[in-house]
Amino acid sequence: MAFARLWGGELMETVLIHVADGDGAKVALRPGGRARFGRGAPGIAVDVRLAHPGVPRLAGEIEARADHWLLSNLSTDKTYVVENPEGAGEHVKIVPGRLAAPIPFEISRVVLPAGLDFVRFSVFAPMHTHLDRTAVAAPTGEGTLTAFPLDESAKYFLVLVALCEPRLRDRSHVAIPTVEQVVARLRPLPSCADLTVAAVNFHIDYLARTKLRVKQDPVDGPKRLDTKRAALVSLALRFNLVREEHLRLLPARAGVG
């Protein structure tokens, strides 16, 4: 099972596809799983439907690997671009007919030219493998599965730090920042100038479901969002995933030199 990842004895989903437009479809893949995307048609089934008339009926295919994914461009005349939305312009181009091109980003935005428009969807590979420095002297055998594979340069990590900030600065019991407060806290950063409430909610869901896998109380509505944020902060601080040194990632506080 060289390309599989296990969590609690179960094969893990290692790639998530999210279409923000339209019906907000989400597709999760385990290692070896494949999903075809495109406009679709009778006799041409797609797993990720992109309804724009400028998208080929069968535009491409995504295949999940252990900690990354492959993109096949099945169009005959369109080059696709895969952007790292947190990489300051970092991207790769996938030319027509290119099969199984490896994509190295943890968070990717796939951009398809469609007539005079562009169609976009996101792909997440949250289980990127990083060097286990404690195991450098013992290179043989199975590698160690990272418990909480966080990328400290990612925007979701900034959101997590902002959620934890009050507890890190004041060890007493204080309220967890609301989503709106997180947006206001991070917006002074150039990388977060366009941050929205919806984007922060998405990052919180991503952290809770995929990166930290927090368990939540069976409640609905606004209280569920409260418990989710509280659960993230509790776990992040308990395991030192966010520490005082990470506060330097946040903007300077008003009135503090």
Rounded to the nearest angstrom, the gap between the alpha carbon of residue 136 and the centroid of all alpha carbons in its chain is 28
- pLDDT band of residue 53 (cuts 50, 70, 90) is very high
Taking only the tens place, the pLDDT of each residue in 61-116 is 999 998 899 999 999 999 999 998 876 678 999 999 999 999 999 989 999 999 88
> For residues 251 and 185, is the Cβ–Cβ distance under 8 A?
yes
Greater confidence (220 vs 149) lies with 149
Backbone angles phi, psi at 37, to 5 degrees: -130, 155
Mapping DSSP to helix (H, G, I), strand (E, B) and coil, where does residue 102 land?
strand
Mapping DSSP to helix (H, G, I), strand (E, B) and coil, where does residue 164 land?
helix
52: exposed, middle or buried (Cβ count in 10 Å: 0-12, 13-18, 19+): middle
> For residues 67 and 128, is the Cβ–Cβ distance under 8 A?
yes
Taking only the tens place, the pLDDT of each residue in 177-232 is 999 999 999 999 999 999 999 999 999 999 998 888 887 666 666 666 778 899 99
Taking only the tens place, the pLDDT of each residue in 174-191 is 789 999 999 999 999 999
Mean pLDDT for the chain overall: 85
Instruction: Write out the two tokens for 218.
Output: 């069976």
Question: pTM to 2 decimals?
Answer: 0.66
Backbone angles phi, psi at 162, to 5 degrees: -65, -40
Residue 139 has pLDDT above 60, yes or no: no
Nearest to 78 by CA among 57, 64, 62: 57
Taking only the tens place, the pLDDT of each residue in 29-40 is 989 999 999 999
Q: Looking at this protein, which amino acid is placed at residue 45? A: A
Neighbours of 240 (CB within 10 A): 7
Residue 1 has pLDDT above 50, yes or no: no
Residue 163 has pLDDT above 80, yes or no: yes
Give the span between the Cα atoms of 212 and 201, in whole angstroms: 15
> For residues 159 and 186, is the Cβ–Cβ distance under 8 A?
yes
Q: What is the DSSP letter of 148?
A: S
Give the span between the Cα atoms of 127 and 17, in whole angstroms: 14
Residue 132 has pLDDT above 70, yes or no: no
Nearest to 179 by CA among 222, 239, 236: 222
pLDDT (0 to 100) of residue 3? 43
185: exposed, middle or buried (Cβ count in 10 Å: 0-12, 13-18, 19+): buried
Backbone Cα Rg of the chain: 20
pLDDT (0 to 100) of residue 96? 95
Across 19-68, where does the E strand assignment appear?
A: 26-29, 34-38, 48-49, 60-64
pLDDT (0 to 100) of residue 61? 97
pLDDT (0 to 100) of residue 26? 84
